[in-house]
Amino acid sequence: MNRLPISLLAILMLVVLPGCDYRILERIGFTYAASYDAAPQNQVEITVSIPRAEPTIKVKRELHSAIGQSSKDARIKFANETDLLLVNGQIRVLLYSEALARKDLSNEINSILRDTSISPLVKITLVNGNAKELLSKNYKQHLSTDKYINRLLEKSSSNHRIPRTTLYEFERDYYDDGIDPIAPILKEAGEDIAVDGIALFQDYKYIAKISNRDALLFSILRGKFKKGDMSLVLSRGEDGSSSEYIMFTSVLSNRKVHVERRAGGTIHVTINANFKGSVHEYIGNKKLSVDAQRHEVESKVSEIMTESANRLVKQLQLHKVDSLGIGIHVRNSMSYEAWKKLNWREEYQKVEIECKLHFKAKDYGKIR
Amino acid sequence: MNTETKEKLSPFHTTILVHMIQTGVMALILPQLLAETFGTNGWITVLGFGLIATINILLIGAVYKLGKGRSIFQILEQSIPKFMLVPVYLALAIVWSMLGCMAGKEYILIFQMYAFPTTDPMEFKFIMDLLVFWLLTKGLYNITKASTVFFGLFVWMFLLLFFFYTDFSWSRLTPFLFKGGHFTYLESMDIYSSLLGYEVVLLMFAYTNKKTKFVKSVLIGNGMTTLTYSYLSIVTFGVFSLEQLKNKAFPVLEMLAYIRFPFMERMENLLYGFVLFTVLFSILMYEWCALEVLKQIFPKLKANFLAFIVMLTCFLIAYIPKTLNEVGDWLSTLSMIESGIAFGLPILLLVVLMFQKMGRSPAHE
Amino acid sequence: MTFSKALRNMIVKESASQTNQDDQSPPEQDSKPPTLAHTLEEFVDCSDITHRTFPDHQIDLVYFDQLTDKDKLSRHILSPLLSGSDEDVAKMVKHLQPFKTTSSKTLILDVLSGGIAVFHGPDAYVFDVYSPEARAISQSETETVITGPHDAFTEQINTSLAMIRARLKSSHLKVIKLSVGEVSKTDVYLLYIKDIVNMKFVEEAKKRIQQIEVDAILDTNMLIQYMDDNKYSIFPQYLTSERPDAIVSKLVAGRVAGIVDGSPSVLSLPTSFFEFFSSSDDYYQRWILGSAIRLLRFIAFVITISFTALYVSVTTFHYEMIPENLLMTLTESRSRVPFPPLYEALLMEVTIELLREAGARLPTKIGQTIGIVGGIVIGQAAVQAGLTSNILIIAVASSAIASFVIPSYVMSASIRLIRFGLIMLAGFLGNLGLVFGIAAIVIHLSGLTSMGTSYLNPVAPFKPKDWKDIFIRAPFTALRERPSQSSSPNVMRNKTKE
């Protein structure tokens, strides 16, 4: 009966009450990548890269940078320099310089976490050197630098050259008391950007670095994954001619962590990792089609890998960074009170960690 | 409107309606509250709270059985003079209408954190109240019909939880039970309030018949809510680490933000809108209760006019609290009172019914 | 004063509800005996009336030449009269079995519907030789199918009825003849199958049709608007179809059909929202195909409703939701557009509607040209001129195409109109506006009824048994029961042993 006036009223109100928070696509400048550098007096220098998509102008991106107390402080400064409404909702990459990360990233990370418009899938990366320079430079043979970095990180993490470190994972590992966060490190390499290794954090503080060479090993030790490739020198011949070399791809791996308390209160942790791969290259005198000989190669690979894994773990223990999440397993093996009493950061160094890696060749290509 | 008196609720619709009333904004905050209050594996307590709700529903069921399906107003007015009941009714109406109103405002304020930060929240509230009013005038039977469709539009979102299977880790749940939390009664009341909504069925007696299988359907509805909440919480606990969870204001929204499709990202912007469908029913049914009570106080006035008054008052009251925290405080106070009502009212009714029985049986002999 | 009264009416319940007495006075009994003079007086100034006198036999004929079958007229009536004796005339009268009419009013009605009035002394007879000019049976323009019968109803009520009768050789197919329109006196046939139909629908439909008091009813789609439960709704509350096979399937499902003289569409009642998404050729395809197509239609519905609105909402408010790969393309295409997305979208939607309407009004051949010209103008020039972004064109076009997938033209038109509302809501309030809009549609739908049954059958009331014939088209072995909406007394429809 009185439905008509009500619906008319509703339509009227809708016309009268439009929201005023327009974020019309072409009038906003969405930061795609941002870099953070340490500046004097505890300030930070922030650089943002904003892609432009105007067909009429040739500029591909806008760069702004400012020094301020906090990231938002700097943001206000460079907001004055652009005709676009600056927003954070499309940030894909955050670059922090190593120098800043060595101090502490907690202020920067927290201000990002508070911002509802920033996606939890933002990638967090350290830069070996000056982050601003890395982001500002145009790399001739590549896409726009911000996109180049983003795609590089995506590709590298998909084949486990580096671990996937989004804001979500970084924060999760920070808050978890049994694991420490990690992040990839990039560096400028002439006309390219290259992955430099994996940064190991203690809370939000950058402590040490794993070199590129050990990256895949690190990934194997850290958990399950499906893709990656690796090359190993199995033995070096005396004269260099009869050296044995192997390369395998599409590694499937899983790991099991076994914790036991030995007599005397020491904690003994065994990491069992099985990984399978297809052999793509093999230089040596063994015939892979012969079971016995292949097993020999396999055990050789396992042996070498185990050895370097143990070395890697020792290195981690030395730096007191539990990036592999051994703490989670130790924690889950004991009672809550005992865990709380344990100062894991200190205890970690004393834990006996033994890695056992087992390699299996799934197949060995077209040659028998 | 006379179809309303003819058509009785069917069991399925009752179940869905109860589920829709219970699910609300609190679901977005629930995992954080659980982590804060109970610590590790706090999600298990949802089942416990569900059990408490079940007991409460059984209590209501007892009223239903003993009262032989009479409405609570008939039961009360048979033994207690009306002038004494009017203040009680009025108080109930105020609590219920405010509860609905605050739930709506909270929903909108949360939304404004993500979009439309500078728009006046009351604009959204106005449209929302318009929708509620519209449904309110349609009567309970049509409300249940709408609830079924809205349920369909909403329930698929639980499938999205499958997105987290890669990031879900059992070891993150830890083997510890309720460690590292900080238990307070106040917070646990807040958790319980996320299950509130079932008590609305107290006023639905008049709309049911034998075929409704009233108690059973309400119990199933409550069971559904309990299970979906526990499922949601367990996923949240496995995806976020405990301390992280404690630090998140809206962990569920954060999880939605994590979902990414090739054609669309940051799903929380859209999916948060879909939460409206269930929030709408939480609001609606409290306002409906207020309306039912008001109908008893003012039998002469038209239901639609009363509904208009209820919604207008609500809209005006919603102007008072301005910030998310204020609304949260109002909401916890109100839901505390509401928990009291949820238990108190059926007990009161049972007492009244006992008296009626005692009074009647000698008279019959 | 009237305002305060109206206000009071809104606030206070009426003390004693006044029962609305149906003032159904018995039809005027016009017992005036039919006479030639009176008849001619009625038809005075109707220059198309024919009056022939045969003084030999003392016979007068009054008829409308254009309504009668000339062949029959000359063979059975004129030739005996012209050549024969009185006996022949008596024989003729016997042979043709005319109705002897006693009331002047019925006589006039009969003449109007193609009878020949024969006045013989004091007696008056009527011969029915009705045969108007009719269109031949042809294909339906609006509801074409690829497989399945191609014939469609015509404007001629008896042809339409014959097409149904030919498909249902059952004495249980009952027909109620009604007449609507004070001037037009349009015939309406209500069809149902006894023992399958629930008689309450027949009674209700009959009552509603009888209650219509209007000068003329020209089409079924006009009639059903007089019968609506909810007059203000945008949604059609009765299903109309031009396909006899579709109507027969509705009849055997326990629904009531109604044919209106002069209209090629036939109505079926009660109906539900979801029924508009099924087409009769779903049943002629293999069931998996039929199911897939039906699901496709529901997807099309979602696309139609939400695609453009989502574009507007995302580009206006929720830029976060755009995936990285699409972001630059979208921004680039938007960057030259001078209007906000809302106006851009409305502009394009209106243009598409203009094209559609122009195409529908013009003859098919020119209509095609319109399509091509419009397609080029909109698709190419608008983008190149920077009036719209090409992604919007895709959104608008795909939602327009999707809207045509819905088989019922009336429903698809309603849905297209709703879309405009959603686009505006999305332009003002973003995703929340979109959700508000969807909520409003659902609320409106849940209040709708068709003949007193829920319009959202079988979702609400929840009848999962019926879903296999609504959302999918299950194999026939699974479709054993009639839909619950028709609340048929005879539920089983398929007793085939597996």
* Chain C residues near residue B265 by CB distance under 8 angstroms: 320-324
Q: Are C407 and C142 in contact (CB under 8 A)?
A: no
Instruction: Look at residue C15 in the predicted model and tell me its pLDDT.
Output: 55
The number of angstroms, rounded, from the C-alpha of C138 to the middle of its chain's C-alpha atoms is 18
Residue B365 pLDDT level (bands cut at 50, 70, 90) = very low
B276, C432: Cβ pair inside 8 Å? yes
* Chain B residues near residue A332 by CB distance under 8 angstroms: 171, 174-175
- How many of the other CB atoms lie within 10 Å of CB of A89? 23
Chain C nearest CA to A17, separation (Å)? 8
C446, B149: Cβ pair inside 8 Å? yes
Residue C2 pLDDT level (bands cut at 50, 70, 90) = low
% of chain A at pLDDT higher than 90: 15
Instruction: Look at residue A220 in the predicted model and tell me its pLDDT.
Output: 83
Q: Alpha-carbon torsion A317, A318, A322, A324, what sign?
A: negative
| CB nearest to B241's CB, from A6, A13, A172 | A172
β strands within C181-283, DSSP E:
186-193, 239-241, 256-260, 266-269
- B1–chain A Cβ distance below 8 A for any pair: no
Of the candidate ranges A3-12, A67-76, A208-217, B45-54, the one whose mean pLDDT is the lowest: A3-12
Instruction: Look at residue A4 in the predicted model and tell me its pLDDT.
Output: 60
A22, C428: Cβ pair inside 8 Å? no
B212 occurs within a structural domain: yes
* Chain C residues near residue B157 by CB distance under 8 angstroms: none
Instruction: Look at residue B121 in the predicted model and tell me its pLDDT.
Output: 86
- A155–chain C Cβ distance below 8 A for any pair: no
B242, A175: Cβ pair inside 8 Å? yes
Residue C58 pLDDT level (bands cut at 50, 70, 90) = confident
By the 10 Å C-beta count (0-12 exposed, 13-18 middle, 19+ buried), B248 is classed as: buried
Is A152's pLDDT higher than 50? yes
Instruction: Look at residue A43 in the predicted model and tell me its pLDDT.
Output: 86
C331, A17: Cβ pair inside 8 Å? no
Instruction: Look at residue A83 in the predicted model and tell me its pLDDT.
Output: 83
- C448–chain A Cβ distance below 8 A for any pair: no
A19, C317: Cβ pair inside 8 Å? yes
- B220–chain C Cβ distance below 8 A for any pair: no
| CB nearest to C10's CB, from B16, B135, B305 | B305
Of the candidate ranges A22-31, A320-329, C209-218, the one whose mean pLDDT is the lowest: A22-31
Q: Which of B145, B272, B304, B312 to mutate to test the interface with C (most CBs of C within 10 A)?
A: B145
- C337–chain A Cβ distance below 8 A for any pair: yes
Q: What is the mean pLDDT of residues A88-95?
A: 90
Q: What is the mean pLDDT of residues B257-286?
A: 89
Check residue C399 and give left, alpha or beta (phi > 0: left; psi -120 to 50: alpha). Answer: alpha
Q: Closest residue of B to C434, CA-based?
A: B273
Q: Alpha-carbon torsion A342, A345, A349, A355, what sign?
A: positive
The number of angstroms, rounded, from the C-alpha of A368 to the middle of its chain's C-alpha atoms is 38
* Chain B residues near residue A328 by CB distance under 8 angstroms: 171-172
Chain B nearest CA to C481, separation (Å)? 21
Tokens 């290509």, residue located: A365
All structural domains of chain C with their residue ranges: 36-128, 157-271, 287-453
- Reading the block at residue A226, the tokens are 């499906």
% of chain C at pLDDT higher than 90: 34
A25, C319: Cβ pair inside 8 Å? yes
Instruction: Look at residue B286 in the predicted model and tell me its pLDDT.
Output: 93
Largest Cα–Cα distance of chain C, in whole Å?
98
Q: Which of A3, A26, A27, A143 to mutate to test the interface with C (most CBs of C within 10 A)?
A: A26
Is C271's pLDDT higher than 60? yes
- B273–chain C Cβ distance below 8 A for any pair: yes
Amino acid letter, residue A325: G
pLDDT tens string C433-446: 899 999 999 999 99
pLDDT tens string A309-320: 999 999 889 998
Is C91's pLDDT higher than 80? no
Q: Are A267 and A357 in contact (CB under 8 A)?
A: no
**Eight-class DSSP state of B120:** -
Pairing of strands C239-241, C256-260: unpaired
Contacts of C365 (CB under 8 A, 6+ apart): none
Q: Are A134 and A34 in contact (CB under 8 A)?
A: no
Q: Closest residue of A to C319, CA-based?
A: A25
Q: What residues does A274 pair with on adjacent strands?
A: A254, A358
Q: B-C interface: how many C-beta pairs under 8 angstroms?
A: 113
pLDDT tens string B201-257: 999 888 888 888 889 999 999 999 999 999 999 999 999 988 899 988 889 988 888
Q: In chain C, what are the helix, strand and coil shares in percent, each to the nearest 5?
A: 50, 15, 35
* Chain A residues near residue C337 by CB distance under 8 angstroms: 26
Q: Residue A195 in 3-state DSSP?
A: strand
Q: What is the mean pLDDT of residues B36-62?
A: 92
| CB nearest to B148's CB, from C11, C439, C462 | C462
Instruction: Look at residue C235 in the predicted model and tell me its pLDDT.
Output: 93
Instruction: Look at residue B363 in the predicted model and tell me its pLDDT.
Output: 45
- C318–chain A Cβ distance below 8 A for any pair: yes
* Chain B residues near residue A336 by CB distance under 8 angstroms: 40, 176, 179-180
d(CA C33, CA B71): 65
Q: Are A276 and A362 in contact (CB under 8 A)?
A: yes
Of the candidate ranges A318-322, C57-61, C227-231, the one whose mean pLDDT is the lowest: C57-61
Q: Are B75 and B60 in contact (CB under 8 A)?
A: no
* Chain A residues near residue B127 by CB distance under 8 angstroms: 10, 13-14, 17
Which chains does chain B touch, 3 or more C-beta pairs < 8 A?
Answer: A, C
Q: Residue A117 in 3-state DSSP?
A: coil
Give B55-78 as a DSSP string.
HHHHHHHHHHHHTTT--HHHHHHH
Pairing of strands C173-180, C115-120: unpaired
| Count of structural domains within chain B | 1
The number of angstroms, rounded, from the C-alpha of C144 to the middle of its chain's C-alpha atoms is 16
B361 occurs within a structural domain: no
Q: Closest residue of B to A4, CA-based?
A: B134
- B242–chain A Cβ distance below 8 A for any pair: yes
B348 occurs within a structural domain: no
Q: Which residue has the higher pLDDT, A265 or A136?
A: A136
Q: Closest residue of B to C452, CA-based?
A: B3
Q: Which of B171, B267, B304, B312 to mutate to test the interface with A (most CBs of A within 10 A)?
A: B171
Nearest Cα neighbor of A84 from A38, A49, A113 is A49
Of the candidate ranges A302-306, B179-183, B317-321, the one whose mean pLDDT is the lowest: B179-183
Instruction: Look at residue B258 in the predicted model and tell me its pLDDT.
Output: 86
Which residues between 108 and 127 in chain A have a beta carbon less than 8 angstroms from any beta carbon of chain B?
Answer: 116-117, 119-121
- C265–chain A Cβ distance below 8 A for any pair: no
- B257–chain A Cβ distance below 8 A for any pair: yes
* CA separation, residue B258 to residues A169, B101, C135, C205 (Å): 11, 30, 63, 54
Chain A nearest CA to C154, separation (Å)? 37
Q: Which residue has the higher pLDDT, B130 or C103?
A: B130
Residue B15 pLDDT level (bands cut at 50, 70, 90) = very high
Chain B nearest CA to A74, separation (Å)? 21
Q: Which residue has the higher pLDDT, C121 or C162?
A: C162
- A104–chain B Cβ distance below 8 A for any pair: no
Q: Closest residue of B to C442, CA-based?
A: B146
- A83–chain C Cβ distance below 8 A for any pair: no
Residue B5 pLDDT level (bands cut at 50, 70, 90) = very low
Q: Which domains does chain A have, with CATH numbers?
A: 24-213 (no CATH), 223-368 (3.30.300.210)
pLDDT tens string A54-66: 777 777 888 888 8
Instruction: Look at residue C25 in the predicted model and tell me its pLDDT.
Output: 40
Nearest Cα neighbor of C315 from C394, C420, C393, C392 is C392
ipTM above 0.85, yes or no: yes
Which residues between 25 and 64 in chain B have a beta carbon less than 8 angstroms from any beta carbon of chain A?
Answer: 40
Q: In chain B, what are the helix, strand and coil shares in percent, each to the nearest 5?
A: 80, 0, 20
Instruction: Look at residue C20 in the predicted model and tell me its pLDDT.
Output: 43
Q: What is the mean pLDDT of residues B48-64?
A: 93
- B265–chain C Cβ distance below 8 A for any pair: yes
Instruction: Look at residue C296 in the predicted model and tell me its pLDDT.
Output: 94
Q: What is the mean pLDDT of residues C73-84?
A: 77
Q: Which of B268, B269, B288, B300 to mutate to test the interface with C (most CBs of C within 10 A)?
A: B269
d(CA A354, CA A331): 18
Chain A nearest CA to B238, separation (Å)? 11
- Reading the block at residue C138, the tokens are 């042809």
Q: Which of B112-126, B185-199, C30-44 has the highest mean pLDDT?
A: B185-199
B360 occurs within a structural domain: no
Q: Are B85 and B76 in contact (CB under 8 A)?
A: yes
C432, B115: Cβ pair inside 8 Å? yes
Q: Which domain holds residue B83?
A: 10-342
Residue C21 pLDDT level (bands cut at 50, 70, 90) = very low
* Chain C residues near residue A8 by CB distance under 8 angstroms: none
Q: Which of C274, C298, C398, C462 to mutate to test the interface with B (most CBs of B within 10 A)?
A: C462
